[in-house]
Structure 1
Amino acid sequence: MLQRAESPVALTGVEASRSFFAPCFHGQSSERLWVAHVDEEARCIHLASYDGSLDQDDMPVRSIIGDAIRLDSAGVVLAHNHPGGNALPSRSDKVCTRSLAIAAEAIDLTLLDHLVFAGPDCTSFRRLGLL
C-alpha cells in the first residue's frame, strides 16, 4: 500500500527519521515494515507500509525497488518494529537489509538507514555500522 506523505519531511539523520516513524508504531502489536522514499534532499516523497515479519521470504525487495524506480527515488529509509521488546536487529533483519542494499545499489538507490523500534527504544543500522 502506498500513501503520499502529507508534507515533504526531511529525513536527514537518525533523530529526524526516528521522529518521523515513531507514530507509525504507536499501539502496534504485530510486526510492520515502513519504507520512506526520499528525493535527493532526503525529503519524503512517498511512504509504503507492509505487514509481517522480516525474513528472506517476506522482505518486499521487488516492491521496494519497483516503487523506487516508478517514483524516481534517490533513497529509502526503512523502519520496522519488534513487538517483543528488543530493538536490536535480528539475524534475519540483517540478511534482509543486506539483500535490499545490494538490489538498491544496482539501480543507484541509497539505503539511508533501517530503524528497529521496540516500545520507546530505537536502533539504527547506520549507527551500528551495518550500512
Structure 2
Amino acid sequence: MRFQRAEPLKLEGFAAARAFFASCFGESDPACEVLWVAHLDRAANCLHLASKVGDECASSLPVRTIIADALRRGSSGLLLAHNHPSGDPRPSLSDCLATRHLACAAQAIDCRLIDHLVFGGGECTSFRSLGLL
C-alpha cells in the first residue's frame, strides 16, 4: 500500500520521526510486521510514504524497490521504521544486515539513509542512536 500526502510533512529529528511512525503503526495489525519507508527531500519534507506488510515473523526489506522509488522521486534521504510483534524493540541481526545493505545502495545514488526505527512493546530504538548507521 502506498500513500501520498497533499501537504508537506517535515520529519526532522528522532522525535518527529518516532511520533509520525507511531501513528502509522496505530493503524496496522500489531500481530504482523510492517515496514514503513519515508522518502525525504533535502529539507526533511516527506515526498512519499510506502509500506510493506509482512507476517508475524518478518517483513522483507525490498532494497531494489526502495532505491527505484528514491530515484523516481528524487529523494535525498530515507527514513525507515518497522515493528516487532514480539515486543522486543532491539534490531535483529537480519535487520542490521539488510539496513546496512540498503544504506550502501542509497549512498551509491547520493541518497542518505537517515535512520531506521524499530518499534516493539511500546518502545522504539534508533539505528542511528545505537551507532548502527
Tell me if both proteins adopt one fold, taking TM over 0.5 as the criterion.
yes
In 1: Cα distance, 2:30 partner to 2:74 partner: 30
In 1: Cα distance, 2:66 partner to 2:36 partner: 10
In 2: Cα distance, 1:68 partner to 1:127 partner: 24
Secondary structure of the structure 2 residue equivalent to 1:101: helix
Deviations 1:44-98, CA, capped at 9 Å, x for gaps:
11100011224xxx32000000000000011110000001010000001000000
Number of residue pairs matched by the alignment: 128
In 2: Cα distance, 1:70 partner to 1:93 partner: 25
Equivalent position to 2:39, from 27, 37, 40: 37
Equivalent position to 1:83, from 58, 82, 85: 85
2:51 alignment partner in structure 1: 49
Secondary structure of the structure 2 residue equivalent to 1:40: coil
Secondary structure of the structure 2 residue equivalent to 1:88: coil
Task: Give the AA of the match of 2:22.
Answer: A
TM-score normalized by the length of structure 2: 0.92
Deviations 1:2-21, CA, capped at 9 Å, x for gaps:
21024312111111100110
In 2: Cα distance, 1:66 partner to 1:6 partner: 22
1:103 alignment partner in structure 2: 105
In 1: Cα distance, 2:119 partner to 2:31 partner: 12
- Which aligned segments of 4 or more residues in structure 1 are displaced greater than 2 angstroms? none
Task: Give the AA of the match of 2:107.
Answer: E
Task: Give the AA of the match of 1:46.
Answer: H
In 2: Cα distance, 1:79 partner to 1:51 partner: 12
Identity of aligned residues (%): 55
Instruction: Give RMSD over aligned pairs.
Output: 1.1
